[in-house]
A and B are shown apart, each in its own frame.
Chain A
Amino acid sequence: MNTSLPMIEITALRKSYGDLEVLKEINLKVETGGVVSLIGPSGSGKSTLLRCINLLVVPDDGAIRVGKTAFSFGQALQPPRSRTLADFRSRTGMVFQNFNLFPHMSVLENVMEAPVHVRRLPKAAARDMAMTQLEKVGLADRAAQMPETLSGGQKQRVAIARALAMEPEVMLFDEATSALDPELVGEVLQTMQKLASDGMTMVIVTHEIAFARDVADRVVFMRDGYVVEDGPAREVIENPKSEATQSFLSHYHKARSAH
């Protein structure tokens, strides 16, 4: 059954900021419908890798393929044009730590914005699409409100609906729950879990180890710009092979055995 291509394929990816090499030879595959969790210490390059997948950060070297679209990078190669980048990004969804909702638009307008102005759907069709997605995250009744009147958890769910309204092939989450009060984390994780069980291909950068273990099929541990460990979620978290992963997870295991 494994004859089909993976949805995301990253090959020998490199990225530097000045002298600082942030990603060093990253290889990663994500199957269609797969859920991969990226964990690792601060500064290890998780966000940079995630942003390379939708080319919000353009890598220096290597190759990226998402669905049918492939890009190669290197000194000799022209960087993609902004039109090409925009087309590509319209087919990947991204959710940010700070939500980044558009404050001058209502919830509904936030979700309709890209379908109308990027995909050029007729207003009525975009509205239907937006309402469907808002229902999916349980916020259809908030459609007319402005973002500033929502709780953090609700804002993040709107941000998820906004990304889903473009019908992306993959969804990328960068610490989607890190800016939330603890009591609001659950509703967002639940939304993400539902999305995963609906078969969405997802890459999730998270500090929620328990969530990574329960929802992801695979966990990738990064340190200093390398993928140190990559395996089935339960295995990597319960029985990490590398010492670096063990010491990173020791906090989590200690906290758990204390309960």
Chain B
Amino acid sequence: MYEWDFSVIYQYRWLFLQGLGVTIAFTIAIIIGGVTFGLVASSCLLSRFRLLRVVALAFIEVFRCTPILVQLVWAYYALPILAGVEMTPVTASLLALSCYGGSFYAEIIRGGIVSIDPGQSEAAAALGMTPGLAMRRIILPQALRRMVPALMNQSILQFKNTSLVSVLAVPDLVYQGQMVAHDSFRPLETYTAVAVGYFAILFPLTLYVRHRERVSGAKR
């Protein structure tokens, strides 16, 4: 019979908190990076120019259809060999996770934009707005409002995806958990604590997204 002993968690609390801090900081960075990538990629997808559309589509599908773990390893180990680009584990992780998330954000943003009634851009054009101004003032504000739940869902996934950066020895919550598990010989308690940490942050967020979805659903 296994004797659970959660006192180790308290003993290593600072390591856990450090890890959590890294995870949160990473998530914020890759959400910003991902949304930026996504905005650029989705505007390319909607561009008049075929070349831009093709490049954006290729980018999106490559990152959507390959495992994020492979992308991380590839960014850190293969890019230096192939392209001579040396990166720290943190930079490589940020890049890979931003591109991975960005490819999903791009589809969400594109979908939000095309869901807006074409009559809106027509009315804007008829008033003398250039396509860029119409996008900024008329289409995006309406589209963003519709996209919020989907963007937040994707960001929740991004939060969990940060756990993979531990393979590049970035000291996030999972990495610190591994360290503690080794050190304390209490892997079950340690990983349970890690899971509780993720849950405590994500569960309130998912409740909020659900609430937002209900509100915007009722409005439509």
Set of chain B residues within 8 Å of A104, measured between Cβ atoms? 141-142, 145
Partner of B128, one of A87, A98, A100: A87
Closest to B219 in A: A148
Q: Is A114 an interface residue (CB 8 A)?
A: yes
Q: Is B119 an interface residue (CB 8 A)?
A: yes
In the complex with contacts A113-B137, A117-B137, A102-B130 CB distance below 8 A: no
Q: Is A94 an interface residue (CB 8 A)?
A: yes
Q: Is A103 an interface residue (CB 8 A)?
A: yes
In the complex with contacts A102-B138, A103-B142, A104-B142, A117-B129 CB distance below 8 A: yes
A164 to chain B, nearest CB (A): 11
Q: Is the CB of A91 within 8 A of B145?
A: no
Closest to A85 in B: B125
In the complex with contacts A96-B119, A100-B122, A90-B131 CB distance below 8 A: no
In the complex with contacts A89-B128, A96-B123, A118-B142 CB distance below 8 A: no
Q: Is the CB of A89 within 8 A of B137?
A: no
Q: Is the CB of B119 within 8 A of A118?
A: no
Contacts between the two chains (Cβ within 8 Å), count: 64
Q: How far is the CA of A4 from the CA of B162 in the complex (A)?
A: 72
Q: Is the CB of A166 within 8 A of B127?
A: yes
Set of chain A residues within 8 Å of B122, measured between Cβ atoms? 56, 96, 100
For chain A, the bracket of interface size reads 20 to 34
Set of chain B residues within 8 Å of A82, measured between Cβ atoms? 130-131
Q: Is B120 an interface residue (CB 8 A)?
A: yes
Q: Is B133 an interface residue (CB 8 A)?
A: yes
Q: How far is the CA of A149 from the CA of B219 in the complex (A)?
A: 13
Q: Is A15 an interface residue (CB 8 A)?
A: no
In the complex with contacts A96-B122, A102-B123, A90-B137 CB distance below 8 A: no
6 contacts between A and B (CB under 8 A): A90-B128, A102-B120, A102-B138, A103-B142, A114-B128, A117-B129
